[in-house]
A and B are shown apart, each in its own frame.
Chain A
Amino acid sequence: MFEDAIVATGITKNYGPIMAVDHVDLRVPSGGIFGLLGPNGAGKTTIIKVLTGLSDLTSGEARVAGFDVRQHPMQVKQRIGWVAAEVILDDDFSGWENLWLQAKFQRLSDWQGRAKELLAYFSLEDRQDDKVSTFSTGMRKKLEIALALLHEPQVIFMDEPTIGLDPGTRRMLWELITGVNREYGITIFLTSHYIEEADALCGLVGIIDQGRIVALGTPADLKAKVSGDFIEIETCETIDEGRLRSVPGVQEVRIQGTTWVLKVTRAEEVLPRLFDTLKPDLIRRINVEKPSLESVYMERTGKRIDQADSGVHDYRKFYANVRRARR
């Protein structure tokens, strides 16, 4: 248990000519919550797939829960739990039967007591005999976490755990994730494209863009590394870059679609000067980003996380399709 839960060295995964994961190094200490933050299509799910042994690595090495994922995939799979982005359960079966199936797959013998404890922990015991298709999204998610915990894993992988959930359910899930981590002492590896989620839950965050880790550290460390603020301006006025650059305090100028992104020393000092330079009544939108995980991402990639969506995966749409197909 004192070994790192996940150690990945130079892991790379190609899908034909596309490099989904590009020489990623990771070290996740045991007992913490690690968050992989990045836009859709950045390679987060692929990293989970190669670390869990579901996809083969193109190159590189990874050890999860003390075992090499290539040489001992079955030992790894006995020691990990998995929570899918789109909630994968057998809808034709009850909650208890889903636990029973999971116990069979994990070859557990005396699992019933533990299953009952988990159902109680997640307040699902009243509904354990109902078909999962009658469960609400929040209940399905909780049952899926219970499945992941059943065989007492050392590491749980959660792929976009709160995608498509309403704010109330998301908050409940955050509490459960931190609770599971604290009370069960299980390392959690989660992916997210929600900045506030990574900030609220994770002790350690890796920021990923186009298959590469662009920043790694505690949320506080990462934020401290960002020197200065970001100002985003959308205006009807035609302006040239030189005019913005000449404003004192502006360090960098980029254009992202129709939005000017300025990196500045301190927003509160630069803003009045900007208003003097530009025509304030032609400004349509202005946004100030103080040091945050978002500004770390902006500094490294020049984009906001929600604008960087490569369109490879739209989970919400996918999730809706899955639900529709099940009916």
Chain B
Amino acid sequence: MSNETESVRLFPPKDGLPAVPRVIHRVPQGSQFVGLYSRELLRTFRNPWVLVITIVQPFMWLAFFGSSFANVPLADLEALLHIHIQSYLQFLLPGVLSTSMLTVGMFGAMSTIQDKRFGYMKRILLTPTSKTTVYLSKALGSATRGLVQIPVMVVAALAFGVHINGDPLMWAGWTFSLVFLALGFSFLFLAVTASSTDWQTPGVISNFLMMPLMFASGALFPAANFPTWMATIANWNPVTYAALFGRGVVVNGTANWLYLGYVAIFAGLMALAGTLVARRYLKVE
């Protein structure tokens, strides 16, 4: 040893006896989740591009999609959409927010696969951290990342002149419907990719789920115009219920709490099933 390191002796060897380790203080529980969850968020939001895209994307949705019917008289639109609205944007806002929760699960799945490929999953699992904790932190991390879009998009909609009805309790319910949706899809994505180590898997699954769940829902167009088979999918699709709950609040100032319950059940089932799958199938590398 060089003299430099010699001077910083922490545990001087006791004559011939092996050193006895000091008593280590451990905090009871939860610390591993805090570490993993913070890691997910810090890694995401320290990247300036992630922040920029997160903020710009909702504006683009509203600007481009929201302008699709700019030259259609409002009365014609109302007849098509079966609802009295202030503008197409007012109709669209809750729907776009619901559909954007579809993609959030992909981020958690990608971050998990990255940890498997770079070996960091080994670093985590070679500490007393359970696979369930890893799974929950990834799911909550990606859901949180998706939820940042809510305030941004609402502010964007207000900037575009959209009038939002309802009261704070309804707004809270609306937010929770989106939280449940984000959590549900995060759990679902992570469970499906638990044993995958391929970068491409989350993207492929996302594309596969995107079309049916986005369009076979009441999010962008009313299900009343759908053929029967598509209406059936829409009836089971949780995106529909988050969109309908939000639309009730934003357009009419009414809340159908059953819809919120439906989305909550979806999140609960996915959490349960996902945790079971992850405990068994979450791969280390």
Contact = CB atoms under 8 A, between A and B. Distances in A.
Given A101-B39, A185-B18, A106 B126 contact: no
Contacts of B125: 54
Contact of A78 (B1, B27, B28, B128): B128
Contacts of A97: 42
A82 B127 CA distance: 9
B20 to A, nearest CB: 6
B118 A108 contact: no
B42 A120 contact: no
B19 A184 contact: yes
Contact of A88 (B12, B38, B42, B122): B122
B30 to A, nearest CB: 9
A61 B32 CA distance: 29
A93 B14 CA distance: 37
Contact of B35 (A101, A151, A182): A101
Contacts of B12: 183
Contact of A109 (B4, B26, B36, B124): B26
B13 A93 contact: no
Nearest to B28: A107
A75 to B, nearest CB: 8
A193 B11 CA distance: 31
B1 A175 contact: yes
B126 to A, nearest CB: 5
Interface residues of A, number: 51
B127 A105 contact: yes
A74 interface: yes
A179 B28 CA distance: 32
27 contacts: A1-B20, A31-B18, A54-B122, A54-B125, A77-B128, A82-B126, A92-B42, A101-B35, A104-B34, A104-B38, A105-B31, A105-B128, A105-B129, A106-B26, A106-B127, A109-B26, A121-B8, A121-B10, A123-B5, A152-B24, A154-B21, A176-B5, A178-B1, A183-B9, A184-B19, A185-B20, A325-B118
Interface of B: 1-2, 4-5, 8-13, 18-22, 24-29, 31-32, 34-36, 38-39, 42-43, 46, 117-120, 122-130, 284
**Nearest 3 pairs between A and B by C-beta?**
A104-B35, A185-B19, A31-B18
Interface of A: 1, 30-31, 52-55, 74-75, 77-78, 80, 82, 84, 86, 88-90, 92-93, 97, 100-110, 117, 120-121, 123, 147, 151-152, 154, 175-176, 178-179, 182-185, 322, 325-326
